[in-house]
């Protein structure tokens, strides 16, 4: 048995199975959501192709030791940052008017998604590895500042695209890293207080009036307050139908392809814009598969997340652990924002649901991230219960 | 540095768990707790209450001949609000949340400045969602040009709620209509519709009496009424003639049509079971006798008169048997909307075909002497004699008579139409009695006929003088003398004079001239208003014996030796009559023309009169030669109806009218009038005072040199200027109406 094959057999097959189940369901959901929309007939099979490409990346990332990220991460970060800056100049406008895509021939790449991948790697190095290279970085303040800069720069650039959703992912990811990245609590508390102080100012001065109005409408919908006619026609139009779609789904839903409804006239088929196969996919799932279907989906996601956290416990070193935490925090943000937005818990930002939503680059990036998680698992310590020596490099070399 | 990662990871797990739990909690709240509420909010097929306009009642003549009926009109109406909503929906799907609708910038006066304003480009949306699909079906209007789009924009701007549909076209054939009804299911907001459309069966016939209707103006409907319906189509309503005044009788009861709209807002069908058909309004029978009306209109038409009017009243009741006025128009042109070209023709016609001359005010001239005669009777001056010396002088101004008639009694004064006699007679009567009796006769006030266009005329009584000419001496003998011969300030309508004639004919009972005979619902009589007396001259001191003197005078005018209208005498039938000629100036466009109003009033037969007729011929020569033949013909033929003479009521074409001088009226199928008018003593331009050239409504400066003199009596200036009555109001108030009015078919 070659070491490579041993590694392969040593993959966390539970996580893999979980992912495959989610993707399968996702393809089915895309098929459902795209049904009855002219021009969307092939999306589900496209998604299968993207998955296959993504799985190659997944296995490659799984089988290579993540320690090489130390050297790859920085160039990757710079390239991705360059992409994000470049997108301003050579990017193509999407249909909402945001510039977030770069086209290479027939291929469209969203640099902000590559950016988040590079960001996770770089932050994992900053919080988990850098202090072993230079003592200076043992100071939590310095690490926070460095990590903060590395976070805020791409975040602002993405925010300017404007891609509010992708920018919002950076926050929880950074926080998750801070939490696990052995930053003392006093720093964390201070940071939280600082954010809480800045927030009202940012709301009043940072946001334009129409953006504020959206938040007001969002608050109304969250608290089930009555909406005005103008709201319903303007800011709350989509939200209103989302709410009705989800609410009318009930326990059992309207069935796949909305077969239980007369003439298949479900809300999403009539009123949802074409984001039904990506941003609003969980709304479609809620309507067609009902409470029980969505509960199953959320359970699958939570199983996946906790499996990953389980991996984090086994991680060989702090960097691996932070990599997993970064991936989990990012994925969790996507999941929470997407489902939450369909349930009107969070403002509508347009984040896809991992493994479910239609989207090529995103599928590849997400699978690659979980490949890194697998890599952390494959290159783990034998026993998670035995405390590690501080310098774990010697142990790692045993393999 | 020892990393206490386990606790941190547990904390992190807890956060992740919290996230999932809150998602499930919210999901549970929406899908289980609030499930029923959201099921109710699922947009589904919605019922729309559409108002089906009631069918307007018909207008008939006294014998049941239908004058105005309804025919089905196949129309396409578009609810612009629905179209815009559909566009919104499509764009939201196409562009996402921050969709933009096409905008259109227009200029509007705001506070005196032209400002650019922006609105939804309804024309572009309309073209995309309505015109193009219809074009594919071959049902689009061929002439939808920029002008039409501008009208659409204005309609959209002025009807923001969308309850008032835009009338896309009204000229579908039945085949097109049925094709439409099958195909339109995909077009939200577009409705095919069958509507009863007013039709005036005899075209220009009796147009001034009937008036016309116009498309519903929803601005006039109260908002509460409109809000009761999802789709409001108002009733046509009358804007002129009896269509206006008897509108409330003829309005139908609206029906209800329940329409189904699917969740996208597209019209999908109708609930047949819930259809409530509209009810027809009541039919209205007019007092008009279509045959006599036909006779009167034919008489005017065949006489070659440019402008004129005939009013025929039944003396025993005050019922108006006929009322004709030329030039006239075809009211069908106004239904549903008048073409720009047609309107321009009507508007630019200086003869003003829209005007009902039978109720317009004019200088009466000598026919007014009949009214003065009655007033004198009331003052007990019927036995008076006066000597005509050819002229009278009042305050240094000489007022002429057309001859020197010697000493005359009242009847001879009427017969010879002697000005001098009436100067004295009028002054003997006094302005107080004149005012009182004039009021009973219906002069100087609206008679109360069911036509809003009616003029009041002028009765220069003491209160009127004090009110309108406070500076003038109402006690002046010259004033009363002027009034006595129908000059000065006096203005009357032909209908008023027909009414006065009817009062003379029936011995002194003043009935309100009216047009409404009865209101019918099918065969059921709803209402039959009895003749209404507006006054009784006997109570004012005019006994039938005194009235007989006036009647005798009128008899002499036609049958008497030396009467002014012997040419109007009819074989075997004795009639009473009186001629009148008034030389007037009046303004047409920018020029002022001078012409004669020639009049003839008459009642027939002399005993037990059945008809009282008044004719006005504008631009005639003498009452006896221009107006009397028309009246003669009307009376002759109308009375012959009872002897079996028959008149076919047939559609009549429009008469354009003209300003030519009508010296003598004769009818091609009649023998020419043998009695020349040269020996008539009838005069128009009797004296006035030189100090005043004022008119009451319009200021027209009259220069001495402008006035063409006749018969050498060149001293007097006519006092009164007839002022053409303002045309009945077709093009009014609301901005945007013109655009709708000028819609080309």
Same-domain pairing of B248 and B317 = no
Nearest to B24 among A272, A298, A306 (CB): A298
Q: Residue B69 sits in which domain range?
A: 47-286
Distance CA A175, CA B8 (A): 12
- What pLDDT is stored for residue B161 in this prediction? 56
Q: What are B109-141's pLDDT values in tens digits?
A: 766 677 777 778 888 888 888 888 878 777 777
* % residues pLDDT > 90 (chain B): 18
Q: Can you give the pLDDT at residue A51?
A: 94
pLDDT tens for each residue of A257-278: 888 877 777 788 777 777 788 8
At B50-77, the pLDDT tens digits run: 888 888 899 999 988 999 988 888 888 8
> Which residue, B718, B244, B731, is CA-closest to B454?
B244
Give the burial string for A326-351 (b: 16+ CB within 10 Å, else e).
bbbbbbbbbbbbbbbbbbbbbbbbbb
Give the residue carrying structure tokens 């406070």.
B470
Q: pLDDT-based confidence at B689, cuts 50/70/90?
A: very low
Residues in B closer than 8 angstroms to A95, CB to CB, are 95-96
B42 lies in some domain = no
Residues B245, B312, single domain; the answer is no
Residue B522 lies in a domain: yes
Residue B218's pLDDT is what? 63
CATH number of the domain encompassing residue B562 = 3.40.710.10
Residue B202 lies in a domain: yes
Query: Rounded to whole angstroms, how far apart are CA atoms B138 and B478?
Result: 75
Q: Where are the beta strands (DSSP E) in B418-571?
A: 509-511, 516-521, 524-527, 533-536
Contact B719, B489 (CB under 8 A): yes
CB contact under 8 A, A251 and B92: no
Binary contact (A248, B6; C-beta < 8 A): no
The DSSP code sequence of B185-220 is: GGSTTEEEEEEEEEEETTBTTTHHHH--EE---GGG
Nearest to B9 among A243, A305, A312 (CB): A312
Say if B681 falls within a structural domain: yes
Higher pLDDT, B338 or B409: B409
* A223-251 pLDDT per residue, tens: 877 776 666 666 677 788 888 889 888 88
Question: Is it the case that residue B744 has pLDDT exceeding 50?
Answer: no
> pLDDT tens for residues B471-529?
888 888 888 888 888 888 899 999 999 999 999 998 888 999 999 999 998 888 888 98
Q: Rounded to an integer, what distance in angstroms lies between the CA atom of residue B626 and that of residue B663?
A: 6
Q: Are residues B226 and B301 in the same domain?
A: no
Q: Which residues of B touch A233 (CB under 8 A)?
A: 88
| Residue in A142, A184, A343 to test binding to B, most B beta-carbons within 10 Å | A343
**Contact between residue B415 and residue B564 where contact means Cβ atoms under 8 Å apart:** yes
CATH number of the domain to which B233 belongs: 3.90.1310.10
Write the pLDDT tens digit of every residue in B176-226. 777 777 765 567 777 777 778 888 999 889 899 999 888 776 667 777 777
Residues in A touching B30 (Cβ below 8 Å)? 243, 246-247, 286, 343
Q: Chain B interface, mutation test: which of A266, A273, A314, A322, most B Cβ atoms within 10 Å?
A: A273
Distance from CA of B79 to the nearest CA of A (A): 18
pLDDT band at A395 (very low <50, low <70, confident <90, very high): very low
Are A270 and B12 inside 8 Å of each other by CB? Answer: no
Position B321 pLDDT exceeds 90: yes
The DSSP 8-state label assigned to residue A216 in this structure reads H
Residue of B567, B670, B698 whose CA lies nearest to B304? B670
Q: Which of B13, B26, B32 minimises the CB distance to A343? A: B26
Is residue B1 predicted with pLDDT exceeding 50? no
Indicate the number of domains in chain A: 1
Are B34 and A247 within 8 A, CB to CB?
Answer: yes
Interchain proximity B16–A328, CB inside 8 Å: yes
Per CB-CB distance under 8 Å, the chain B contacts of A176 are 12, 15
Instruction: Give the model's confidence band at B23: pLDDT under 50 very low, under 70 low, under 90 confident, else very high.
Output: very high
Given B216, B251, B286, the domain boundary residue is B286
Whether residue A12 has pLDDT greater than 70: yes
Asked whether residue B371 falls in the same domain as residue B432, the answer is yes
Question: Given the structure tokens 């009202």, which residue do they identify?
Answer: A200
Are residues A270 and B96, on separate chains, in Cβ contact within 8 Å? no
For residues B383 and B724, the model is more confident at B383
For testing contact with chain A, the best of B1, B8, B25, B268 (most A CBs within 10 A): B8
Whether residue B23 lies inside any domain: the answer is no
pLDDT at B626 over 80: yes
More confident residue, A151 or A235: A151
Asked if residue B305 and residue B203 are part of one domain, the reply reads no
Residue-range definition of the domain harbouring residue A322: 3-382+389-398
Q: Which of B4, B6, B7, B16 should be substituted to probe chain A, the one whose Cβ sees the most A Cβ atoms within 10 Å?
A: B16
Query: Cβ of A313 and B42 within 8 Å?
Result: no
Cα dist from B542 to A74, B380, B410, B503, B512, whole Å: 123, 8, 14, 11, 18
pLDDT of residue B696: 27
Q: Count of A–B CB contacts within 8 Å?
A: 138
Contact B96 A275 (CB under 8 A): yes
Lowest mean pLDDT among A51-55, A117-121, A233-237: A233-237
How many domains are contained in chain B? 2
- The arithmetic mean of pLDDT across residues B32-41, rounded, is 87
Q: For position B265, what pLDDT does the model report?
A: 59
Q: What is the pLDDT of residue B19?
A: 94
When pLDDT is cut at 50, 70 and 90, the band that residue B723 belongs to is very low
* Residues of chain A positioned with their CB less than 8 A from the CB of B15: 176, 179
Q: Average per-residue pLDDT in chain B?
A: 80
**Tokens in use for B150?**
């501008």
Would you say residue A390 has pLDDT above 80? no
- The answer to whether position B37 is within a domain reads no
- Nearest chain A Cα to B36, which residue? A248
* Yes or no, beta carbons of A179 and B8 under 8 Å apart: yes
pLDDT at B695: 31
Residues B79 and B167 reside in one and the same domain: yes
- From the CB of residue A42, how many other CB atoms can be counted at a distance below 10 Å? 10
Which of B219, B253, B286 is a domain's end point?
B286
Residues B147 and B295 occupy one common structural domain: no
Pick from A179, A244, A339: which is nearest to B23 by CB?
A339
Tokens of B279: 């009810």
* Cα nearest neighbour of B91 on chain A: A273
Taking only the tens place, the pLDDT of each residue in A324-360 is: 999 999 999 999 999 998 998 888 878 899 999 988 8
Residues of B with CB under 8 A from a CB of A: 1-6, 8-9, 11-13, 15-17, 19-20, 22-24, 26-28, 30-32, 34-35, 37-39, 41-44, 88-89, 92-98, 263-264
Same structural domain, B373 and B509: yes
Residues B189, B309, single domain; the answer is no
Last residue of a domain, one of B286, B311, B339: B286
Residue B264 with chain A: CB contacts under 8 Å: 270
* pLDDT exceeds cutoff 60 at A392: no
* DSSP structure class, residue B458: B
Nearest to A248 among B13, B19, B42 (CB): B42
Angle between helix A111-128 and A318-342 (nearest 10): 140
- A290 torsion bin: left (phi>0), alpha (psi -120 to 50), beta (else): left
More confident residue, A293 or A380: A293
User: Which of the four pLDDT bands, split at 50, 70 and 90, describes residue A174?
Assistant: very high
Q: Do A270 and B38 touch (CB under 8 A)?
A: no
B38 within some domain: no
**The pLDDT value given to residue A216:** 83
Query: Is the model's pLDDT at B678 over the cut of 50?
Result: no
| H, E, C per residue of A312-350 | HHHCCCHHHHHHHHHHHHHHHHHHHHHHHHHCCCCCCCC
pLDDT digits (tens, 9 = 90+) for B346-376: 888 888 888 899 998 899 988 999 999 999 9
pLDDT at B310: 93
User: Are B349 and B209 part of one and the same domain?
Assistant: no
pLDDT-based confidence at residue B697 (cuts at 50, 70, 90):
very low
Any domain includes B551: yes
Task: Indicate whether B281 and B323 sit together in one domain.
Answer: no
Residue B22 with chain A: CB contacts under 8 Å: 345
- Chain B residues with CB under 8 Å of A131 CB are 1
Instruction: For residue B736, count CB atoms less than 10 angstroms from its CB and return exposed for 0-12, middle for 13-18, buried for 19 or more.
Output: middle
Q: Taking 50 as the threshold, does the pLDDT of residue B554 lie above it?
A: yes
Which pLDDT score is estimated for A355?
Answer: 94
How confident is the model at residue A1, as a pLDDT? Answer: 61
In a shared domain, residues B186 and B317: no
Rounded to two decimals, the ipTM of the complex is 0.91
The number of angstroms, rounded, from the C-alpha of A332 to the middle of its chain's C-alpha atoms is 6
């Amino acid at each position: 048995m070659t070491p490579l094959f041993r590694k392969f057999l040593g993959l966390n097959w539970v996580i893999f199975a979980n992912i495959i189940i989610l993707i399968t369901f996702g393809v089915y959901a895309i098929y459902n959501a795209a049904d009855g929309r002219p021009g969307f007939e092939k999306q589900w099979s496209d998604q299968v192709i993207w998955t296959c490409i993504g799985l190659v990346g997944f296995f490659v990332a799984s089988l290579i030791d993540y320690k090489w990220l130390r050297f790859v991460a920085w160039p990757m970060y710079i390239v991705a940052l360059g992409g994000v800056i470049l997108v301003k100049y050579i990017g193509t406008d999407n249909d909402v008017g945001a510039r977030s895509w770069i086209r290479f021939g027939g291929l469209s790449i969203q640099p902000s998604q590559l950016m988040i991948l590079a960001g996770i790697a770089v932050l994992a190095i900053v919080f988990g590895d850098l202090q072993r290279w230079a003592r200076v970085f043992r100071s939590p303040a310095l690490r926070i500042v460095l990590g903060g800069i590395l976070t805020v720069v791409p975040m602002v650039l993405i925010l300017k695209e404007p891609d509010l959703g992708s920018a919002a992912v950076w926050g929880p990811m950074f926080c998750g890293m801070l939490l696990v990245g052995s930053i003392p609590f006093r720093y964390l508390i201070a940071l939280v207080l600082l954010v809480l102080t800045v927030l009202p100012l940012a709301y009043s001065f940072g946001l334009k009036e129409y953006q504020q109005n959206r938040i007001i409408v969002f608050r109304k919908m969250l608290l089930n307050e009555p909406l005005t006619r103008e709201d319903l026609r303007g800011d709350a139009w989509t939200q209103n139908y989302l709410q009705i779609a989800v609410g009318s789904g009930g326990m059992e839903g309207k069935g796949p392809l909305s077969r239980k409804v007369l003439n298949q006239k479900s809300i999403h088929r009539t009123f949802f814009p074409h984001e039904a196969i990506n941003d609003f996919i969980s709304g479609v799932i809620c309507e067609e598969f009902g409470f029980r279907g969505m509960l199953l989906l959320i359970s699958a996601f939570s199983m996946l997340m906790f499996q990953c956290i389980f991996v984090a416990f086994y991680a060989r070193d702090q960097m691996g652990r932070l990599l997993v935490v970064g991936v989990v925090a990012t994925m969790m943000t996507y999941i929470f924002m997407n489902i939450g937005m369909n349930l009107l818990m969070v403002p509508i930002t347009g984040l896809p649901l991992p493994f479910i939503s239609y989207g090529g680059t995103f599928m590849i990036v997400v699978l690659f991230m979980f490949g890194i998680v697998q890599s952390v698992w494959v290159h783990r310590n034998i026993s998670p219960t035995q405390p590690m020596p501080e310098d774990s490099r010697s142990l790692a070399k045993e393999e | 540095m020892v990393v206490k990662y386990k606790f941190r990871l547990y904390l992190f797990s807890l956060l992740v768990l919290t996230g999932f739990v809150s998602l499930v909690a919210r999901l549970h709240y929406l899908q289980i707790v609030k499930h029923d509420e959201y099921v109710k909010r699922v947009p589904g097929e919605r019922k729309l209450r559409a108002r089906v306009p009631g069918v307007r009642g018909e207008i008939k003549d006294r014998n049941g001949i239908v004058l105005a009926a309804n025919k089905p009109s196949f129309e396409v109406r578009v609810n612009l609000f629905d179209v815009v909503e559909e566009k919104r929906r499509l764009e939201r799907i196409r562009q996402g949340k921050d969709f933009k609708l096409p905008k259109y910038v227009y200029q509007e006066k705001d506070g005196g400045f032209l400002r650019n304003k922006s609105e939804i480009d309804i024309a572009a949306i309309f073209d995309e969602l309505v015109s193009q699909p219809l074009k594919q079906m071959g049902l689009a209007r061929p002439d939808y040009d920029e002008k039409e789009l501008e009208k659409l924009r204005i309609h959209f701007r002025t009807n923001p709620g969308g309850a008032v549909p835009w009338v896309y076209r009204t000229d579908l054939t039945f085949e097109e209509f049925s094709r439409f009804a099958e195909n339109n299911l995909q077009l939200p907001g577009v409705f095919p519709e069958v509507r009863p459309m007013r039709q005036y069966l005899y075209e220009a016939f009796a147009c001034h009496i009937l008036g016309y209707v116009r498309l519903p103006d929803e601005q006039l409907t109260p908002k509460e009424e409109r809000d009761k319906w999802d789709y409001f189509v108002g009733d046509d309503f009358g804007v002129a003639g009896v269509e206006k005044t008897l509108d409330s009788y003829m309005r139908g009861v609206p029906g209800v049509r329940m329409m189904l709209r699917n969740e996208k807002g597209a019209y999908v069908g109708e609930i047949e079971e819930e259809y409530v058909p509209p009810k027809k309004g009541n039919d209205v029978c007019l007092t008009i006798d279509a045959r006599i009306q036909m006779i009167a209109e034919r008489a005017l038409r065949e006489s070659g008169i440019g402008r004129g009017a005939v009013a025929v009243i039944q003396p025993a009741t005050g019922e108006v048997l006929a009322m004709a006025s030329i030039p006239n128009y075809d009211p069908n042109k106004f239904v549903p909307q008048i073409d720009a070209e047609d309107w321009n023709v009507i508007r630019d016609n200086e003869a003003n075909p829209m005007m009902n001359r039978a109720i317009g005010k004019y200088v009466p001239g000598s026919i007014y002497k009949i009214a003065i005669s009655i007033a004198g009777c009331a003052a007990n001056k019927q036995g008076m004699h006066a000597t005509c010396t050819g002229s009278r002088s009042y305050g240094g101004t000489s007022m002429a008579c057309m001859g020197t008639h010697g000493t005359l009694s009242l009847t001879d004064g009427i017969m010879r139409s002697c000005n001098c006699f009436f100067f004295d007679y009028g002054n003997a009567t006094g302005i107080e009695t004149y005012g009182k009796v004039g009021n009973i006769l219906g002069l100087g006030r609206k008679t109360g006929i069911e036509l809003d266009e009616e003029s009041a005329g002028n009765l220069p009584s003491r209160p009127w003088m004090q009110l309108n000419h406070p500076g003038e001496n109402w006690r002046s003998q010259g004033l009363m003398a002027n009034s006595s011969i129908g000059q000065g300030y006096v203005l009357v309508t032909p209908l008023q004079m027909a009414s006065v004639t009817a009062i003379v004919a029936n011995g002194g009972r003043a009935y309100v001239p009216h047009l409404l005979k009865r209101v019918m619902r099918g065969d059921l009589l709803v209402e039959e208003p009895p003749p209404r007396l507006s006054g009784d001259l006997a109570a004012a001191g005019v006994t039938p014996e005194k009235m007989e003197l006036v009647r005798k005078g009128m008899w002499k005018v036609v049958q008497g030796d030396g009467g002014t209208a012997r040419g109007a005498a009819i074989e075997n039938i004795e009639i009473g009559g009186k001629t009148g000629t008034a030389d007037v100036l009046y303004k047409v466009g920018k020029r002022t023309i001078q012409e004669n109003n020639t009049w003839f009033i008459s009642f027939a037969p002399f005993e037990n009169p059945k008809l009282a007729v008044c004719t006005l011929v504008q631009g005639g020569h003498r009452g006896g030669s221009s107006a009397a033949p028309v009246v003669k013909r009307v009376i002759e033929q109308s009375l012959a109806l009872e002897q079996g003479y028959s008149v076919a009521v047939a559609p009549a074409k429009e008469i354009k009218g003209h300003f030519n001088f009508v010296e003598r009226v004769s009818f091609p199928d009649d023998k020419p009038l043998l009695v020349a008018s040269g020996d008539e003593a009838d005069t128009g331009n009797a004296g006035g005072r030189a100090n005043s050239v004022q008119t009451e409504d319009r200021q027209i400066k009259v220069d001495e040199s402008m006035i063409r003199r006749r018969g050498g009596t060149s001293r007097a200036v006519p006092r009164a200027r007839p002022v053409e009555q303002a045309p009945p109001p077709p093009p009014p108030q609301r901005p945007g109406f013109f655009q709708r009015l000028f819609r080309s078919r």
